[in-house]
A and B are shown apart, each in its own frame.
Chain A
Amino acid sequence: MKKKGVSPIIATVLLIGMVIALALIIFVWMKALTKETITKFEDENIELACDKVKFQADYNLNQLSVLNSGSVPIYDIKVKVSSVEGSVLRSIRDTSQDWPRFGLNSGGTFLGTITGLSGDEVKLIPVLLGNSETGKKTVTCDERVAYTL
């Protein structure tokens, strides 16, 4: 019997090509489903940078003072005031004109008037500026790295 068929080498090449193509399709699909990776300090995930943020703060007579005592620049700080009625979150950058335009660099300080920081719990949550494929993006760090007044 003379059977016609594809040569084994060509079949192997075709199979490998199909596997790679399938893998690429799945990769592109998965990438669209997962959230965009935002990095800081040469491709390190920004969530790791959040763990390195160190700052001190004090609130007295409606004056909030903040010192960035670490090496990670802080772009903004979100103030979370929690009480029995619920919690309110606001940005110091949006609230105060005294906030530095490029944030608090290492050793940088902020002193400004912020009203309404009275509640059962007041937390200062750092916001960092990172790099993504679509440009600069801000990321609010997890509450576990927040500074409690």
Chain B
Amino acid sequence: MKEMNKKGVSEMIGYVLLIVGAIVMAGIVYGWMRSYVPRETVECPDGVSVFIKESSCTLENSKYILNLNITNNGRFNVDGYFIKATNNESQTIATMDISNNLLSGANADAGIVLFASILEPGKDARTTIYQLDKKIFSIEVLPLMYEVIDGKNTLVTCGNAKVKEKISCPEIY
């Protein structure tokens, strides 16, 4: 029988090369795909809901005084809200931020109105009072909450729980 003397790579080296190649390719794909892995979503839970129990607009010393009573009728705590107003009847989306016009009942900071204490489900917030220079026709309240995500306190806006209320302010004669 003829002795065959074929040269080739040893099996062990072959295995090593294959494994190393697979690991390197996996690393390349991981690096590329990593950014497509969705992170924990910052979303408002479905059961968040508030409603404006009572609102009134009066005129005092040529300034409009807006009183608001907000109730949490949802299933989750609410920390505060954004409040916007319309200053003409034809406007459908309220864009005028009146958080800076807050007089009492809550704390306002950087466009956000925070309740004096976290508003639990079924509870009424303290009456908040705003002093306005212009007549307003409606307000929109967008509740917000703080959630701990990845160890950080993150502001979550609950756009789906927005409430709108028409406001009747007296005329200045």
User: Which A residues fall within an 8 A CB radius of B?
Assistant: 8, 11-12, 15-16, 19-20, 23, 26-27, 30, 34, 37, 39, 41-45, 47-48, 52, 54, 56-58, 60-61, 63, 65-71, 105-111
Contacts and interface: CB of A to CB of B under 8 A. Distances in A.
Contact of B38 (A48, A56, A58, A106): A48
Contacts of B59: none
11 contacts: A16-B16, A26-B28, A43-B39, A44-B38, A60-B92, A69-B159, A69-B162, A105-B111, A109-B96, A111-B91, A111-B95
Interface string B106-122: 00000110000000000
Interface stretch (B18-26, B60-68, B130-138): B18-26
SS class, residues of chain A in contact with chain B? mixed
A47 to B, nearest CB: 8
Nearest to B99: A107
Given A48-B39, A66-B95, A107-B82, 9 more contacts: A16-B16, A19-B24, A42-B150, A60-B90, A60-B91, A65-B91, A67-B94, A71-B156, A109-B94
A65 B13 contact: no
B155 interface: yes
A107 B24 contact: no
A23 B25 contact: yes
Determine the interface band of chain B, counting residues with CB < 8 A from chain A.
35 or more
Contacts of A60: 90-92
